[in-house]
Amino acid sequence: MHLLPKKKIISAFRGIVSLSDYSDLPITTSMVERIISPATNPQLWEYEFPHSAINLSRPFDSQDCVRVMGLSSTSLYDIRIDHTDEPFSENHVTVKRLISAPSLDRFYLATLGSAQGFGSHSGVLYVSAGHEVARLYLLEYVPGVETSDFVPVVKKIKKHRKIIHRPLFDPGSGRVVIFFVGRFVVVDLALIHKYL
């Protein structure tokens, strides 16, 4: 779940991504006594992704829109929400499939067996591949443009206990920080990243 500009919230549950408006909710300085019903906070838009659950990236804000990357077990999607002063309509949201995701089990997407860190044009996906090895996928994409022949770069790394936080990825340097219990590992994908 993420707060967006123009008093909107985007959230994902199982395979459904929804956009809501919170501008009419009362402002309070104390804890809420009851759960706010969906009728109080109406959904502006909803989209059901085929085949599986979906994980959302952090939002990327620009002058004309905000983008969120959505990863399912089969594909990476670009969710674009236009900035507009007009009353909101479903035409202000566009969902576009960008690339095929590495073949993943739905279980990994729902647990910390996998974790991802996405930027506006590239990202990494960490997938546990057994007790001692994990795979780090480098994904590159152009928002709004589908690429059918994309092949991700895969790097095998030694796994150190359980991952405790999604990887931090710096697209500029090509470095990835992976946080394990009691330590962190820096993986340098700069040489691979530079020539893609």
What is the model's pLDDT at position 193?
46
State how far Cα 118 lies from the chain centre.
Answer: 6
Main-chain dihedrals φ then ψ at residue 37, nearest 5 degrees? -80, 155
CA 89 distance to own-chain centroid: 23
Average confidence (pLDDT) over 116-120: 77
**Does residue 33 register a pLDDT over 80?**
no
Amino acid present at 134: A
**What confidence score (pLDDT) does residue 37 get?**
53
Q: Where are the domains of the chain?
A: 2-194
| Greater pLDDT, 33 or 83 | 83
The reported pTM is 0.77
- pLDDT band at residue 148 under the 50/70/90 scheme: confident
Let me know: does 81 contact 10? Beta carbons within 8 Å: yes
Six-digit token pair at 63?
């002058």
pLDDT tens digits along 68-111: 988 887 788 999 999 888 888 889 999 999 888 776 554 444 44
